[in-house]
Structure 1
Amino acid sequence: MLKSLRWKLQFMAVTLVLLMAIPLLLTTTRMMEQTMKERHKKQVHQESESLVALIDTYYKGFRQNVEMFSHSPLLQTAGDSVRTYITAQNVKMDSSTRGGIEEDIYNKFKEFGETHETAIFIFFGTRYGGWVGYPEDVRTHFDPRTRDWYKDAVANQGKVIQTEPYIDYTTRSLVVSMVMAVPGPDGQVAGVVGFDINNDAVSEMARRVRVGETGYVVLLHRNGSVFVDSKHPENNMKKFSETDLVDDENVSRVLSGQKIHYNAEVNGITYHVHSEGVDETDWIVLVFMNHAELHKTVTSVRNRLLGIAALVVLLVAIAGYFITSRLIRPMSNMVGELAAFEGDLTLRFQARTKDEIGALARWFNVFLEKLQNLLGGVRGETGKIEASVGQLEHIAATVLASSQGASQQANAVAAATEALNSNMSSVAAAMEQSATNVSRVASAAEMMNTNITTIASSVRSAAEISRDGVTQAQQTSVRMGELDAAARAISEVTETITEISEQTNLLALNATIEAARAGEAGKGFAVVANEIKELAHQTAAATGNIRDKIDGVQQTANASIAAINEIVTLINTINEIITDVTHSVDQQSITTQEIAENIHQASQGLNEVNENVSQGSVFADSINREIMGVNEAGKEIVAQGEDLNEQAEALNALVEKLKQMVGVFKV
């Protein structure tokens, strides 16, 4: 289809439109995608700050209530009147029925707990170990002063301490504790008051956060625990690194509170994750957005742009079709007139337009006019060429007859000379073959002599190596003997160490007996004696292990000495055989050298005879070449005569064809 000029022009127009539209489409899509990402980041940041602000507000109220309780005179003056459960065994708390200040504290806690449902437990531990709490539960050997939260509050007086999230063993809910030291009237700490706060409200806050249609929030504590996963609650209180919410590469970056973006696959769905730590808090907010949803708007805009681009291309193609049809119509008319051209050089095209196509028609008319004049002159000169060709044919026939006679005489002389040259060449070839054969025999003899000499040298080297091998094996045998002697010496040392460990063990036993007699005063000495006894046992075990390994070394050394002695005997036998082979090879080398010298002398004599025969063959060959040259010259003359005759005939045929071709045109 692209062979047509019309379609080529249309293709160029569509291509130009696409070259402009595609970069514009890509740039617009990229800008839209970047804008959507920036909008998403901004929205995520705002949602993160809003969520953390809600959580801080939620906890801030409890902090204020803890501070209020810590300044309550009722708690500050409790003293040692509050019951303790330090030695209790599954005893239910009874502060509500004990009366006095303890019951007043309980009623105050109850009043607060009934109005604050998320405060699942309100408690007060005194410096004397007393304990009041609402609601009342069962306690066993409970001393609040030993708890970490109590120690942290005492160490940070005047400050509310918030614990890390944990799972409450009674309610199985996610809990955060807030505690604060209560100052006493004597300037010392009267105790620690605090709340256990249910975080279901925080989880609900996280679940209500929506980013897009499918986005959800994960609240992470800086200690590495997932505090709230609003979509997958089974991840709550799991280690962040043990979930599929992040890959190993980004765990440390997320927990450091950096503002980062990454992709994660959760339950087979790919999410774009934005992680951001909130300043001056322990919270890290992760917002998960479905990757398909994030790119949904960009994809929609891109598809619309593609549709617009396709429509523009279609309109350009339709417009191009009509424009190119208008441009191509004059050229189509010219093509039709040329198709009807039958050699009529009087034909002229009509130039109706003033554009490039009209100029083409006018110049084509000029070309036809000049061609008409040219062919008219050719037709007049063709008759003259025909007369000259006839004369050329007569001359060519005469030259061909004379050259054929001379060539026959030269052929007879060349045949006789060639027979003489062939005989001389046969003799020279036979002599040269004889000389070559003798030279090959001489070369083979010299090569055999060289190989025998090499073999003799290699055999001598082998003898030297075998003697060195005997020496090295004997030295190795001596060293192995020394190794055996050293192993026996070490064995004697290990026996001595064994005896010492047995004596040490006996002394430790005696020391234990004496320590037992000494009673309480000898307990420390008894511990030392037991340690010495254990060390003696370990020494005896280690010495036994060393003795076993030394026995193994001795056995290996004895076996190696026996094997080396056998190797020495075998190498001595091989050395004797090599010595006999060396003597035989030397004798063979002398005999082969004499044969090589005799063959070399014979080869030199044959080379001299071959040179004489070769000189005679060269002279005969020279004569033959001279005669062959004369013969070839005669053949070339005949060939040239035949070519001249053929060219004359061809020229005559060409003249006839030229007359026919010129006759086609109407001039």
Structure 2
Amino acid sequence: MKMSIKTKILSFIPIMIIVVLVISGLSYIFAKNEIEEEIESRLARQAGETAGDMETLLAEHQRIGEALAEVAGQKGTTFNEEDYQSLQERLIGMNDATFGIGVWFEPYAYDEDTEFFGPYSFRDGEEIAYTDEYANADYNYPSQEWYTAGVEAQGATWTAPYYDEALDTVLVTTGTPFYTEEGTLLGAVSSDMNAEAILALAQNIEVGKNGWAFLMDENGTLLAHRDAETIEDDPVLQEISGEFEDSGTERVAYADGDAVVSYTTLAQNGWKLGLVLPESEVYAGVNALLRNVVLIAVVLIILTTVAMYVLASKITKPIRALNEEVKHVAEGDLSRQLTVTSKDETGELTTSFNLMVTNLQNLIASVRESVHTSSDAVSQLSAISEETMASSEQISRAIQDVAEGTTNAAAAAEESSNKTTVLSEKLSALTVISDSLHQQSEKVDETNQKGSEKTSVLQVKAEQTDEMIGHVEEVVQDLSEQMTEVASVVGTIAAISEKTNLLALNASIEAAQAGEHGRGFAVVAEEVRKLAEQTAEATRDIRDSMKDIQTKTIAVTGEMANARKLSIEQFEITEETVASFGEIAKSNTTMSKLVSDMTSHIKDIEVNKEKVVSAIAEIAVVMEESAAASEEVSASATEQLTALEMVTTSAEDLQVSSEKLVQQIEQFKS
């Protein structure tokens, strides 16, 4: 499929559109992520700051109760009701958020005659009032949640907000137990805080334009909400409250749209403060950004398309005009010229086209003149070439005859030289073999001499071996006789040990009959009997060993006899070997003399052979040089003849080409 330059340029428009769309999409995605992270971070930061304010408020209130509990633990029953009232008034005045505070002793712990003792002070408008109406069985403060929770935790605990009918106020209470120095529980301190103060902090938080805050206790009960009248009617937060961790961000779905929830947990009582911001507000900036990105992308695409179309038209218009002129030139019209309208690459191309046409005009004129001149010269060259070719053929035939004769003579000389060379090589090989044979003869003589010396040594060693075998036979015979004597002695020892054993047995019997007087003798007799038995046992072992040694001695005697027989045979063979070496030495001496004579005659032939081979080689070289020179002259003549034929043919072809060139040049218009 053929594509114009304009089409190729415009084909980049879809690519540019895709690039713009991809860049716009990525920019939108990155910006969206950044905005989401920024809003979530801002919500988390705002929740953390508000939670910090609440924790400060709660911590200051909790310290009031802990301070009173510490004093109550130290003073205990030594403080009377007025002392506690005075202390409570001072502590309440130290913190504006503290509504009331009381000291509550365990039943009968303050006074064995008083079951309930609980002085309590609270704010009454601008004044601080005192009451003891809670110290009775009807209220039964030891059963209250703030009391039991503090005692169980052995530290400060917080209650959920509750409504106090007597005070007509929503309170949140901390319970802090106090103990004697021995660790016995005395009671608990209650410090009440007006819940409206902390709930107001949550309700007054401004979260964006349409967001709100909520406060939830550790059980998931909503304490503060954007709509105080329907605080219990937020099923979405009620449903996800069990999924909350200490802090984090969640997305929840409301009927009027999704929302982002950022929450954190208060350290003192586990309450969760959350900030809710509708996603419509979260993504308001993102949606505006999307509109701007889409608008910019559309504008860029339109501008890019128009710019590329205009550019393609501007580039291709002069190229099309130049293409038309080139077609006229291709048809032979060299009178065409273009006007240069630009200074870019297209203008340079137009200038080059005009220059090319001018150069072609000059070239055609020069060629036309040269063709006419060369046509006449070619005619003359063709005639001269035909005459020269006839003379060259005669010279070539004469030189070829001379070359054939010289080649035959050189071949005969070369054959003689080859045969002489073969003869020379065989004589040289014979000389080498003769020298080698002489050397081998000398080595055989030397080896024979060494063998004779070794056999003499072997003969002496054989005599020494025979003498040693005789000595060994005598030693073995003496050993056999001594073993017989030892066996006799061992038999005597065995008989003595048997008799000793019998005597020891008889002595034991006699000692037993002697009673108490023979007991010592009986012990000695028993030891003698044991020694006799050990001697008999050792004697038996010796007798067995002696039998084994006698058996092996007899075997050694037989082997020594065989060894002596082999030694005699070895000595006889050694004498025969010595005689054989003598015969070999005589034969080798005779052969060595014959080889020396043969080597001398071969060397004389070798000297004369070198002269013959050298003369024949010189003749062959001269003949080969003559043949080569003749062949070179013949080849040169043949090449010259061939070259002349080619010149003649080329001249004829050139004549034809010149005529055709004249016809073609006449087609161009100047």
Q: Could you say whether these structures have the same fold, taking a TM-score greater than 0.5 normalized by the shorter chain as the test? A: no
Which TM bucket (shorter chain)?
A: 0.3 to 0.5
Please report the TM-score for the alignment, with normalisation by the length of structure 1: 0.42
Please report the TM-score for the alignment, with normalisation by the length of structure 2: 0.42
